[in-house]
């Protein structure tokens, strides 16, 4: 019953996402991206330990103001060119943050002495969600924005789905026992190999000669999406809750559904900027 509910919810989410992506003007889809991340910020406030309604509202207001200021400062709501040094700096800083997050996940629960304070966890939410929102808005406003957004979502979904079924079938060795006991190394490699297969398929229908570049984009994106999932699991475990929210039947909160994407989007955008890869036939 739970699996059926998860599948039905996932289909509804993907259908709504696809309709908005294909039918809405880029600027309105960008607004939806930022509103979705605002809901995620509301949930992250609770993960941080800000449980009072007014505290969570204040957290979201500050998040929205910072996100709006950065969006307009970077001119991301227009057709931004790939050559964008200010955004590039933010994405590089985001990559550095995720390297730190990897060390914290690897050393949990000992690492919680560094980030267990609710103000630090609140700041982590900004480091996770702000670069993700900026990266997605940036990608959306590229000439091939629709395909880029769809592609990064598919990469994350492929890594997640491949890991789930591989882990169910072959999982023996725990990936991060203290953080997420259900995840295994077998699932991790299954998700990664699924993304390699995805790369081959996309390369065959676009420009096969560019497959090494495409692989160099897909693999880091898939790898860091796993870290995004583990980071949220670590924060939830520390907070003592199972789900970030209850808005999505069978899935929990918005964060539970987009945790991998929050990590993957900045890395994917950074790889696109550096490689200048495009969908070509």
Residues of the chain with pLDDT under 70: 1-6, 78-83, 248-251, 280-281
Entry field: residues in the chain: 281
Contact 235, 47 (CB under 8 A): yes
Burial level of 169, CB count in 10 A (0-12/13-18/19+)? exposed
Distance CA 108, CA 217 (A): 29
pLDDT digits (tens, 9 = 90+) for 148-198: 999 999 999 999 999 989 988 887 889 988 898 889 999 999 999 999 999
The pLDDT score that the predictor gives to residue 73 is 86
The answer to whether residue 58 sits within a structural domain is: yes
The answer to whether residue 185 sits within a structural domain is: yes
- Token pair 């996940």: residue: 105
Residue (of 92, 93, 111, 91) closest to 102 by Cα position: 111
The pLDDT score that the predictor gives to residue 1 is 55
- 277 Cβ partners below 8 Å, 6+ apart? 210, 213, 214, 217, 271
Which residues are registered as beta bridge partners of 176?
180
The answer to whether residue 271 sits within a structural domain is: yes
The pLDDT score that the predictor gives to residue 275 is 87
Cα–Cα separations (whole angstroms), residue 258 to 1, 39, 88, 95, 108:
23, 11, 22, 18, 22
What count of other Cβ atoms lies within 10 Å of the Cβ of residue 96? 11
Q: Which domain holds residue 195?
A: 2-275
The answer to whether residue 47 sits within a structural domain is: yes
Residue (of 207, 209, 153) closest to 33 by Cα position: 153
Q: Report the number of distinct structural domains present in the chain.
A: 1
The pLDDT score that the predictor gives to residue 74 is 86
The pLDDT score that the predictor gives to residue 235 is 95
The answer to whether residue 280 sits within a structural domain is: no
The pLDDT score that the predictor gives to residue 83 is 59
The answer to whether residue 243 sits within a structural domain is: yes
């Amino acid at each position: 019953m739970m699996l059926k509910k998860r599948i039905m919810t996932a289909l509804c989410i993907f259908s709504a996402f696809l309709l908005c992506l294909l039918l809405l003007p880029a600027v309105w889809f960008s607004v939806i991206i930022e509103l979705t991340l605002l809901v995620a910020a509301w949930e992250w406030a609770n993960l941080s330990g800000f449980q009072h309604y007014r505290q969570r509202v204040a957290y979201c207001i500050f998040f929205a103001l910072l996100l709006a200021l950065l969006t307009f400062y970077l001119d991301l709501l227009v057709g931004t060119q790939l050559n964008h040094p200010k955004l590039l700096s933010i994405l590089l800083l985001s990559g550095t943050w995720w390297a730190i997050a990897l060390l914290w996940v690897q050393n949990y629960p000992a690492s919680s002495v560094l980030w267990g304070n609710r103000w630090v966890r609140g700041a982590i939410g900004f480091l996770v969600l702000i670069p993700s929102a900026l990266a997605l808005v940036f990608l959306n406003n590229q000439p091939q924005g629709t395909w880029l957004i769809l592609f990064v979502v598919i990469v994350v979904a492929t890594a997640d789905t491949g890991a789930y079924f591989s882990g169910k079938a072959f999982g023996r060795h725990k990936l991060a026992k203290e953080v997420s006991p259900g995840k295994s190394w077998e699932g991790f490699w299954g998700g990664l190999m699924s993304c390699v297969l995805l790369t081959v398929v996309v390369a065959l229908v676009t420009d096969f000669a560019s497959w090494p570049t495409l692989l160099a984009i897909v693999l880091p994106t898939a790898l860091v999406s796993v870290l995004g999932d583990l980071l949220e699991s670590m924060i939830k475990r520390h907070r003592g809750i199972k789900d970030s929210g209850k808005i999505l039947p069978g899935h929990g909160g918005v964060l539970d559904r987009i945790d991998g994407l929050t990590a993957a989007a900045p890395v994917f955008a950074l790889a696109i900027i550096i490689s200048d890869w495009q969908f070509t036939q």
